[in-house]
């Protein structure tokens, strides 16, 4: 089975646990923070080392997450005991997809030619949300090469409204 499929199964299990505890959003943030911590070079090398016994890995992670909900910690313990701790980043990504779907939102990457002020970011996000009928979590990227306009990526879809694209289209029409 592919790692993404395995990670999706774990994410679905964690999502179910979070839903029962009415903590989908909070657990998602906790999972993201845990994934980031577990992927830090020193922590990752300890977690992946065959020299460190699994019980010791479980103890270290459990101690670090003393304040976390017990089902969340037990989930991580099961992950470590099965030797799947390397999947934590992918599980976090899959969990985010599930949470976004349940909460009726999408993540969009918006590329602009120059840095946008907070008001412009808000207006773009609101108009995009109105256009697609879902809440939008927007990530903004600056790329001067597009010259102007915007490029919006939502999942696999790309909507290119950049000046560079329009000039390329005009060039092809003039040469054709």
**CATH code, domain with 77:** 1.10.520.20
Does position 94 have pLDDT exceeding 90, yes or no? yes
Number of domains in the chain: 2
Are 56 and 10 in a shared domain? yes
- Which tokens in the block code for residue 20? 């029962």
What's the rounded Cα separation, in Å, for the pair 172 and 39?
A: 47
Are 30 and 71 in a shared domain? yes
Nearest of 34, 4, 30 to residue 17 by alpha carbon = 30
Are 141 and 96 in a shared domain? no
Q: What percentage of residues in the chain have a pLDDT greater than 70?
A: 99
Query: Which residue, of 85, 101, 117, is where some domain finishes?
Result: 101
Does position 156 have pLDDT exceeding 90, yes or no? no
List, for residues 118-153, the tens digit of each pLDDT value.
999 999 999 999 999 999 999 999 999 999 999 999
pTM to 2 decimal places: 0.77
Report the run of H or E that residue 139 belongs to, with start and end: strand 135-142
**CA 137 from centroid of its chain's CA atoms:** 11
Are 43 and 63 in a shared domain? yes
Are 17 and 55 in a shared domain? yes
Query: Which residue, of 101, 125, 151, is where some domain finishes?
Result: 101
Are 14 and 74 in a shared domain? yes
Does position 176 have pLDDT exceeding 90, yes or no? no
Does position 90 have pLDDT exceeding 70, yes or no? yes
Count how many Cα atoms sit within 13 Å of the Cα of residue 15 in the half-sphere of its side chain: 19
Mean pLDDT of the chain: 93
In this prediction, residue 30 has a pLDDT band, given cuts at 50, 70 and 90, of very high
In this prediction, residue 1 has a pLDDT band, given cuts at 50, 70 and 90, of low
Q: What is the mean pLDDT of residues 2-7?
A: 92
Does position 36 have pLDDT exceeding 90, yes or no? yes
Does position 105 have pLDDT exceeding 90, yes or no? yes
Are 7 and 85 in a shared domain? yes
Q: What is the mean pLDDT of residues 39-61?
A: 92
Q: How many CB atoms lie within 10 A of CB 29?
A: 11
What pLDDT, on the 0 to 100 scale, is given for residue 155?
A: 85
What pLDDT, on the 0 to 100 scale, is given for residue 84?
A: 93
Q: What's the CA dihedral at 90, 47, 40, 11 to 10 degrees?
A: 20
Are 80 and 17 in a shared domain? yes
At 128 the three-state DSSP class reads helix
Are 85 and 123 in a shared domain? no
Nearest of 40, 32, 15 to residue 101 by alpha carbon = 15
Are 12 and 95 in a shared domain? yes
**% helix / strand / coil in the chain, to the nearest 5?**
65, 15, 20
Query: Which residue, of 83, 101, 119, is where some domain finishes?
Result: 101
Are 10 and 63 in a shared domain? yes
Does position 24 have pLDDT exceeding 70, yes or no? yes
Does position 18 have pLDDT exceeding 90, yes or no? yes
Q: Which domain holds residue 36?
A: 3-101
Are 90 and 128 in a shared domain? no
């Amino acid at each position: 089975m592919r790692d993404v499929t395995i990670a999706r199964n774990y994410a679905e299990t964690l999502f179910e646990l979070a839903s029962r505890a009415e903590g989908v959003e909070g657990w998602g943030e906790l999972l993201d923070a845990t994934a980031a911590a577990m992927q830090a070079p020193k922590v990752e090398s300890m977690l992946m080392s065959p020299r460190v016994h699994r019980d010791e890995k479980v103890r270290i992670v459990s101690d670090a997450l003393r304040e976390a909900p017990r089902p969340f910690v037990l989930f991580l313990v099961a992950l470590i005991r099965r030797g799947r701790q390397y999947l934590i980043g992918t599980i976090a990504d899959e969990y985010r997809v599930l949470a976004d779907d349940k909460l009726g939102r999408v993540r969009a990457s918006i590329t602009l030619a120059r840095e946008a002020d907070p008001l412009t970011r808000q207006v773009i996000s609101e108009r995009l949300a109105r256009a697609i009928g879902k809440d939008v979590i927007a990530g903004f990227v600056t790329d001067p090469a597009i010259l102007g306009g915007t490029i919006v990526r939502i999942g696999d879809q790309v909507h290119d409204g950049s000046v560079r694209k329009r000039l390329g289209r005009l060039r092809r029409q003039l040469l054709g």
